[in-house]
Amino acid sequence: MCGITGIVSKDRDNIGEVLVRCSRKLTYRGYDSVGVAAVRNGQVDLRKDVGTIDVVDKLLNLSGMKGDRGIAQLRWATYGAPTKANAQPHYGCTADFYGAHNGNLHNYAEYRAELIEAGHIVRSENDGELCVHAVDKYYEETGDMFEAVRLSTRDLKGAFAYAVGKADEPEIYAVKMGSSLVAGVAEGDTIVSSDLPSVLPLTSRVVYLQDGEMVVLTHDDVKVYRVDDGKQLDRQPEISNVDAHAAEKGGYPHFMLKEINEQPTVAQDVLGVLNGRECDNWLRMIEDSSRKYLVACGSSYNAGIVGTYFFNRLAGVSVVPVIGGQFGPMYGNTLDEDTLCMLVSQSGETKDIMNVLNLVKGISKGKTLGVVNVIGSTLMFQADDYVPMACGYEVSVPATKTYFSQSVIFAYLAAKLGERNGFLDPSESKRFVNLLETELPALTQKTIDKTGILTKNLARTLVDVKDLYCLGYGFTDGVAREGALKIKEICYNHCEGMYSSEFKHGPLSIVTEDYPVIFVTTPEDSWMVINHINEVKARHGRTIVVGEFEDSLNHYVDNKIDYLVVPRSDPLLNPLLDVIPLQMLSYYLSVDLGINPDLPRNLSKTLTVD
């Protein structure tokens, strides 16, 4: 997945500076390579190279590029290795056309061959270059840039968004076909970008775009058109209330630590939103469906596993957790009108999830309920309904507060559903919802405060560990997987998350003297988990425990440092709190290893590719 930004200005000549300033907010979308195409007096100056935006800016003085309009692109490599030639933006056959894209062209190979056959000079192995050539091709045929952009989409298959301009024309055009795109109108500038954080430094007057739409930027306005027939759509800017500083670190060394510390507020905010909204439609969608799937990727999937335990425990409802890419091959043929797919995606753009959304909508069987954070995202617009995660922008690539928001949403919906379908006594439902609202924020803060130093100390003892397991049972199944994912993502260690009762069926063979195994448990399940701890202890493994303090558990940790104790709470709140020590452990271990947890190698915040 990548990040594109296009800006047209009335009076500026410092387009490079403002493109870099805005694009830097998209760093989480890609840092394999960066480039800027700046236009001044009809001449395009295009500079690009491998590295993060700061590295390439320093190397090529991107910020010093002159002009009144231009396009910048941050790349996360898919088609074509991360090289200078494959970096974006690209020219067309000549420097008359310039542009950049985000997403994937599924017909890349055949279309590239077709263009070369037709005499186009294709310089890279990056699919984004073909978007510019497609416009070049149709401009040759029509002599009109608007039509050329509109018709270019006919040649391109896949999910993508791109911005393109012609050197001697003042407009910049952008197309949304499956990847995110949002526009903004400032005083004397207009902007189009893959994500809101790069628009906010210029303006909070935003225009959300939907698939199949294109936008034309002039220096003072943004016009939206339907690609199919070129019809102009009445799309007025609306004021975004997302705090521009959400994309700043607020004094923390890394966005990840900031976002972990935002979780108490997230608990308040998301519960405030849920309580303020009519959940009836969401609950009805869940209750009326005969088959319920919870489809997600990465941390969202792990939160979904936690959700399935809540739906079982509080509502007596079976919700099947499925990894996004699995859904089609595993359940695609079982879809019918009574199927509900809860599509959980903080970005609302993850391609694996978009594929499921399109599958369900394509055969018009079943309903989709999004659980989504990014307002204006494709999932938000295209699902039958959506539950807002209301946790503000998450900038750090590893998810923390969005995972937390999702877990809280599932706990809340499960309690409400249990009350609605009679599985849960209304008084119990009300008691639990009240706990979520009145105790969870403070308990979250207390857990952060209490486990900060514990995790810092424990992390130091794990810097030489290259391989470990993180095991959960019952409610902490998804929690342990999330802890393992965090360590994999930002410590570059192999940490496998799995069910603790399954460990003895094979993986136990890895345990030797001092081999570390983390056990995450709730008080309700510790009697069972102790059996699994014993199986490791008996083979002299190192057992690390995450959970409330219990003498029976304390007996199995060789030293204090191996017990990440979370504050006592209601048994149903504990699974929400147990993830916090794991988030912080992975953070401090990452920093101890000299890694930037916000920008782990090879990864990206939003993967809009298959």
Q: Using CB under 6 A as the criterion, which residues of the chain lie in contact with ligand BG6 when the complex forms?
A: 297-300, 345-347, 350, 353, 397-399, 603-607
Angstrom distances, CA of residue 491 to CA of 31, 464, 578: 18, 11, 20
β-strands 467-472, 494-499 pairing: parallel
Comparison of 398 and 497: residue with beta carbon closer to ligand BG6 = 398
Comparison of 378 and 522: residue with beta carbon closer to ligand BG6 = 378
Please confirm, yes or no, whether 430 is among the known catalytic residues. Answer: no
Closest approach, Cβ 586 to ligand BG6, in A, equals: 12
Comparison of 88 and 347: residue with beta carbon closer to ligand BG6 = 347
Q: Which two tokens stand for residue 407?
A: 């877990």
What residue has token string 């940490």?
A: 495
Comparison of 93 and 323: residue with beta carbon closer to ligand BG6 = 323
Q: How far is CA 589 from the centre of its chain?
A: 22
Angstrom distances, CA of residue 536 to CA of 206, 399, 505, 530: 55, 30, 13, 10
What strands, in cross-sheet order, belong to the sheet with 158-166?
90-91, 97-105, 158-166, 172-177, 213-217, 222-226, 232-233
Element (H, E) at 276: helix 263-276
Closest approach, Cβ 347 to ligand BG6, in A, equals: 3
Comparison of 397 and 424: residue with beta carbon closer to ligand BG6 = 397
What residue has token string 């009300």?
A: 430
- DSSP string covering 456-499: HHHHHTTTT--EEEEEE-GGGHHHHHHHHHHHHHHH--EEEEEE
Comparison of 347 and 590: residue with beta carbon closer to ligand BG6 = 347
* Beta bridge mates, 386: 370
Closest approach, Cβ 297 to ligand BG6, in A, equals: 4
Residue nearest to ligand BG6 (CB): 298
Q: Which of 578, 470, 457, 565 is nearest to 517 (CA)?
A: 470
Torsion of CA 75, 242, 235, 352, to 10 degrees: 40
Burial (0-12, 13-18, 19+ Cβ within 10 Å), 54:
middle
Element (H, E) at 593: none
User: Measured between alpha carbons, how far is 191 from 182 in angstroms, rounded to an integer?
Assistant: 8
Annotated catalytic residue within 223, 351, 416, 605: 605
Closest approach, Cβ 299 to ligand BG6, in A, equals: 3
Are 583 and 490 contacting, i.e. CB atoms less than 8 angstroms apart?
Answer: no
Comparison of 346 and 382: residue with beta carbon closer to ligand BG6 = 346
Comparison of 76 and 91: residue with beta carbon closer to ligand BG6 = 76
User: Measured between alpha carbons, how far is 197 from 432 in angstroms, rounded to an integer?
Assistant: 35
User: Measured between alpha carbons, how far is 493 from 486 in angstroms, rounded to an integer?
Assistant: 10
Please confirm, yes or no, whether 2 is among the known catalytic residues. Answer: yes
Comparison of 208 and 393: residue with beta carbon closer to ligand BG6 = 393
Closest approach, Cβ 389 to ligand BG6, in A, equals: 9
Phi, psi for 37 (deg, rounded to 5)? -115, 115
Annotated catalytic residue within 2, 131, 470, 495: 2
Are 338 and 290 contacting, i.e. CB atoms less than 8 angstroms apart?
Answer: yes
Closest approach, Cβ 360 to ligand BG6, in A, equals: 16
What residue has token string 């000299």?
A: 594
Q: How far apart are the first and last CA of the chain?
A: 10
Q: Which two tokens stand for residue 229?
A: 């027939």
Closest approach, Cβ 572 to ligand BG6, in A, equals: 24
Comparison of 151 and 371: residue with beta carbon closer to ligand BG6 = 371
- DSSP string covering 139-205: HHHHS-HHHHHHHHGGG--EEEEEEEEETTSS-EEEEEEBS--EEEE-SSEEEEESSGGGTTTT-SE
Burial (0-12, 13-18, 19+ Cβ within 10 Å), 273:
middle
Are 397 and 347 contacting, i.e. CB atoms less than 8 angstroms apart?
Answer: no
Closest approach, Cβ 357 to ligand BG6, in A, equals: 11
Positions annotated as catalytic residues are 2, 605
